[in-house]
Amino acid sequence: MKSLLQVENLQVSYPTQDGRVFALAGVDFTLHAGETVGLVGESGCGKSTLGKAVMRLIPTTGGRIILGERDITQLGRKALLPHRAAMQMMFQDPNGSLNPRQSVGKSIGRPLEVAGWKAAAIRQRVGELLEQVGLPAAAAARYPHEFSGGQRQRIGIARALILEPQVIICDEPVSALDVSVRAQVINLMRDIQQRTGVAYLFISHDLSVVEYIADRLLVMYLGRIVESGPTRQIWDRPAHPYTFALLAAAPVADPRAPRNENALSGELPSPINPPSGCPFHTRCPHAQARCRAERPALRGNPGQRQVACHFPLFELGARELSPLAL
């Protein structure tokens, strides 16, 4: 598979009155054409920061972002423009990209207007896109407040698709929606992916949301990836104690199945002063002396499974690393 987006040792820190917030402490991942990678972790672990940094919306303090063949980490505004079209973003609240005083057709078509398209061609393209996301072409003349949350998120998808991007960074795109509407929007996103081959980095604090859409998962804790691998494998058999706790705390489809709300005890430590050694040791039921002294490296095969833990729940052995076992 062709690698579309490659992120290497990406770091972001925010200067604040209380000190530097190390929001991303060196993140690596690859996104291939047509696939969905889920990025999960508790609120405050750095997911949105990663999305914004990859989009070059905030400054990075280290590492590289490679889009296609091009290193875009240091590109200035102008040089970045042709690459901007290839990567788009979707948010939890699509109102961020929709002007309340503009018809949705105008908001969706704006990037084409900037690119110098004629009004009639824009109208046609916007109408086609609205139909693709399950809305009538005539919806273009209406205003954002006239739509429900689910419909607005469909408009958000149309807005993200207008420049035919290769990658869409989706930051909690269904978290504000009712469960039934959520499934519809996720199914629509999958359909669009099958039709267009777009790749998604799908960010969610809720593991049960990404289970259905992500081919692979990245589990993040305090600005670092602590586990990665095929979704099914991680879901069935997490190796990192943090992933295990997240899964145990996640809402389950079957309401009769046991759910352990206390699986994840204690608060997320401050990224201004992260714990020594393994950043999860302050909350980990398996922590030992070594965990407080030495930070575990992410080990395993980046294309398959990886884990950053001195004492994982099982050792990533030959079986887990073999594509035959998928």
Ligand X SMILES: Nc1ncnc2c1ncn2[C@@H]1O[C@H](COP(=O)(O)OP(=O)(O)O)[C@@H](O)[C@H]1O
Q: Which of 82-90, 127-135, 182-190, 281-289 is the region at the interface with ligand SF4 (rule: CB under 6 A)?
A: 281-289
Task: Identify any residues that bridge with 178 across adjacent strands, giving them in sequence order.
Answer: none
Placement of tokens 């586990």 in the chain: 227
322 Cβ neighbours under 8 A, 6+ residues apart: none
> Minimum distance from CB of 49 to ligand X (Å)?
3
Q: How far apart are CA 196 and CA 161, in angstroms?
A: 10
Give the residue with the Cβ less far from ligand X, 43 or 262.
43
200 binds ligand SF4 (CB under 6 A): no
Task: Identify any residues that bridge with 202 across adjacent strands, giving them in sequence order.
Answer: 38, 170
60 binds Mg ion (CB under 5 A): no
Give the residue with the Cβ less far from ligand SF4, 44 or 241.
241
Among 36, 38, 49, 127, binds ligand X (CB under 6 A): 49
269 binds ligand X (CB under 6 A): no
> Minimum distance from CB of 309 to ligand SF4 (Å)?
3
Q: Which of 38-46, 105-113, 134-142, 308-316 is the region at the interface with ligand X (rule: CB under 6 A)?
A: 38-46
43 binds ligand X (CB under 6 A): yes
The C-alpha torsion from 143 through 148 and 149 to 153, rounded to 10°, is: -60
304 binds Mg ion (CB under 5 A): no
Note the Cα 150 to chain centre separation in Å.
Answer: 19
Taking Cα atoms as reference points, which of 108, 101, 112 lies closest to residue 131? 108
In eight-state DSSP terms, residue 300 is E
> Minimum distance from CB of 169 to Mg ion (Å)?
11
Binding footprint of ligand X, residue count (CB under 6 A): 13
Asked if 34 contacts 197 with a C-beta cutoff of 8 angstroms, the reply is yes
Both structure tokens of 223:
């600005």
Q: Which of 141-149, 157-165, 193-201, 309-317 is the region at the interface with ligand SF4 (rule: CB under 6 A)?
A: 309-317
Give the residue with the Cβ less far from ligand X, 89 or 135.
89
21 binds ligand X (CB under 6 A): yes
Helix axes 104-114, 119-132, angle to 10 degrees: 120
Asked if 187 contacts 242 with a C-beta cutoff of 8 angstroms, the reply is no
Q: How far apart are CA 31 and CA 225, in angstroms?
A: 15
296 binds ligand SF4 (CB under 6 A): yes
Give the residue with the Cβ less far from ligand SF4, 150 or 241.
241
275 binds ligand SF4 (CB under 6 A): no
292 Cβ neighbours under 8 A, 6+ residues apart: 275, 276, 277, 278, 281
Per-residue CA distances from 79 to 66, 145, 163, 284 (Å): 14, 36, 17, 45
Give the residue with the Cβ less far from ligand SF4, 224 or 281.
281
Among 13, 36, 48, 151, binds Mg ion (CB under 5 A): 48
In the list ligand X, Mg ion, ligand SF4, none, the entry touching 287 (Cβ below 5 to 8 angstroms by class) is ligand SF4
In eight-state DSSP terms, residue 286 is T
Q: Rule CB under 6 A: which residues touch ligand SF4?
A: 241, 278, 280-281, 284, 286-287, 291, 296, 309-311
Q: Rule CB under 5 A: which residues touch Mg ion?
A: 47-48
